[in-house]
Amino acid sequence: MPGRDSYDLVIVGGGMVGLSLACALADSRFSILVLDRSSPPEVSEINPPRSSGSDLASGYSPRVSAISSRSCRFLEEIGVWEKLPESRICQYSNMVVWDGCGTAEIDFSNESDRPQGCIIENQVLLAALFERATRANNIELGFSSGFQEILAATNATVSADTVSEKKSRIRLDSGEVVAANLIVGADGAESAVARYLGIRKKIWSYNQQAIVTTVETEKTHEFTAWQCFTDLGPLAFLPLNAKDPRYSSIVWSIDPGNARQLMNMNSGEFVSLLTRKFEKRLGRVLSVDRRHSYPLVQRHAVTYAKHSVVLVGDAAHTIHPLAGQGVNLGFADTYALAAALNKAEWQPDEPYPHYSKAIRNWERRRKSENLAMMALMESFRHLYGTRNPLVNWARNTGMKLFQSLPAFKKVILKVAGGI
């Protein structure tokens, strides 16, 4: 049950992006309610990895995120980084990308003297964000609680004048109604907030499934994020363990037919195929944990803001995992939104029109940056998805040229991680 009947912000979605916004505004002048239908996040102690033949019980969650250096700084600024257990963070200092259908390779090892990012299990990062939010005196966490409807300011029958005079209202699953100056939809790709408001999204399927799991390899991961463009689709090996660097998280994006075959393979068949397609860069793949798959779909909302409601993270945009930018774009949304609200000439208890200019400026900036990244990833996906020999030759030639130009590699690192 909410502790009050009115809030400055109601954030729908207590995932990584929603909680990052709450934490970015922790102990500020804004009163915040976070709603999420799921239970509060928990993280159990990791059990030592155990393998039996090619079957692995790693103890790691299959869903991980590649957190860019820019996002790492954001997590430090909002007091979350210090809550992350050191044993569950693996920083990487290099990226290696190569064409499995050719001979070209790009190595970023000499382009930065500091970590380029880190790999963290989603549930570990979520628990740290949740713990930080619980310590804030202005944040109320309403887990195991969702909403039924959004009222007043998003009602199409309400005139602009009426909207300007009233706050939004949101009816909770319990039937209670709370008022809010701003409602933030951070409730994921299938956002109920976006659907309720009728915000249209441009949606297109990549016609691919992402297979994710944890693997044990013969050689260490060398604190490197590896990516090979195989003939089946892009395959990433992400360093997962710092103390025992033989464990990596993989993300393999494959067409649905091949994905079904790989999901139906036994562990021995799968690790044998994985070893070949990854060209034994880390020696043999010795064992594999339980595999999971999910469809890859790109979405982009035509607007991030409507009346007194805004969308952030996957609720506004989803992207191919090719470069691991998904949650980083979401963190960039919340970082910029928190900054816009803090700078806006808006005092608590003032309705939406008093800060609508700040929201419009935020939306314009974030939409352009997100679309630019989505376009870049789409170009890479098409470039490496073709089997045309001429394109393959041109692609390999371009990668070899790129490898010889350190200045261009530094630009890519800056775009990807804010280094």
* DSSP string for residues in 118-133: EEEEHHHHHHHHHHHH
Q: Which domains does the chain have, with CATH numbers?
A: 6-417 (3.50.50.60)
Contact 142, 36 (CB under 8 A): yes
Q: Is 0.85 topped by the overall pTM?
A: yes
pLDDT digits (tens, 9 = 90+) for 223-246: 999 999 898 989 999 999 888 899
- Closest Cα partner for 2 from 32, 38, 42? 32
What does the buried/exposed string (b/e) look like for 310-339 if buried means 16 or more CB atoms within 10 Å of the residue's CB? Answer: bbbbbbbbbbbbbbbbbbbbbbbbbbbbbe
For residue 99, the surrounding DSSP H or E stretch is: strand 94-99
382 contact partners, CB below 8 Å, separation of at least 6: none
Contact 150, 163 (CB under 8 A): no
pLDDT digits (tens, 9 = 90+) for 360-407: 899 999 999 888 887 776 666 555 555 656 556 556 655 555 555 555
**Cα dist from 355 to 6, 128, 358, 397, whole Å:** 17, 30, 5, 51
pLDDT of residue 216: 97
Kindly report the CA angle at 100 between 97 and 103, in degrees rounded to 5? 80
pLDDT of residue 121: 94
pLDDT digits (tens, 9 = 90+) for 294-348: 999 989 999 999 888 999 999 999 988 876 678 999 999 999 999 999 887 665 5
- Which of 80-89, 308-317, 406-415 is predicted with the least confidence, judged by mean pLDDT? 406-415
pLDDT digits (tens, 9 = 90+) for 110-121: 555 667 889 999
